[in-house]
Amino acid sequence: MSNTTLRVIVSLIAAPLIVGLTLLGSWWFAAFALALAVLALREYYNLALHTDAMPLAAMGYIGTVAIASSFFLGGLANPRLQSILFPSIFLILTLAILIVELLRNKAHPLRNSAITGFGVMYVGTFLASLIGLREMFSADALSLSVFENIVVAERAAVGDRWGAWLVFATFIGIWTCDSMAFFAGKAFGKHKLFERVSPNKSWEGAVVGFLSSSAAFVALAYYLLPFLPLLHAGIIGGLVGIIGPFGDLVESLFKRDAGVKDSSNIIPGHGGVYDRFDAAMFVAPVVYVYVKIFLALS
């Protein structure tokens, strides 16, 4: 079986599974996003091992679980709870990493502690923010002004639906950007975007990907996200088109440093979780923060 055939088969299995978990939301989607975060963090730490670092992996996983829980509880119960938990977790985790690194007496303590903490912030927190997107309209997570034309009895159902569609729109924006950039680059890409890290990417492909992501987000917002004005949908789509490729480039940079082709082989035909969700890792927190600020001011 060719690698392309294997990729297609895995995608056909994974896509409906992701859709189903996103629609279910609650603990189902939270567990899925947390699994992605922990697996990607494991792959990130494994890359670090190739550079002679020895990150405190167990502490990184514990920190990621705590951060994911703060996103979930913030959406499910009260956003003020997240505003307390989030900085508290990072404070305690940082102190714990430094103390444990002091006690374990390993080589490269500066590198080890920095990679451990940065991994939780970059990989764990960025992917866990998908939970924040999914639960963004649960309970009192945002200003009630977004529900001003919806009766109280219907707000929970509407908010749950909006949260699911916001996650879908984010993923579709990323996939649209990647696909259109790839085809445009193959068709007429002449100017290298970042040859030192990824020689196949072109400026022509990046521009088409940016425009396609913006258009996709506007179309999805028009039909599925009535709380989001089209201007802001276009801005978010543009941000997806700009920031998503940086996620891919950063991972390529780290893999080059580690001297590996894929972050792992856990997904047949696709490589690792980090390989597949590197763009989502950059995009999810940006969409989360943008929508949170926009709606809080509405």
Give residue 194's pLDDT.
Answer: 80
At 11, give phi and psi (nearest 5°): -65, -40
3-state SS class at 160: helix
pTM for the full predicted model = 0.88
Tell me the per-residue pLDDT of 201-227, one tens digit each, with 9 for 90 and over.
888 889 999 999 999 999 998 888 887
pLDDT at 184 exceeding the cut of 80:
yes
Q: Give the residue, 238 or 80, on which the prediction is more confident.
A: 238
Give residue 156's pLDDT.
Answer: 60
Q: Per-residue b/e over 191-204, b at no fewer than 16 CB within 10 Å?
A: eebbeebbeebbeb
Per-residue confidence at 40, pLDDT binned at 50, 70, 90?
A: very high
pLDDT at 286 exceeding the cut of 80:
yes
d(CA 58, CA 65): 11
d(CA 21, CA 28): 6
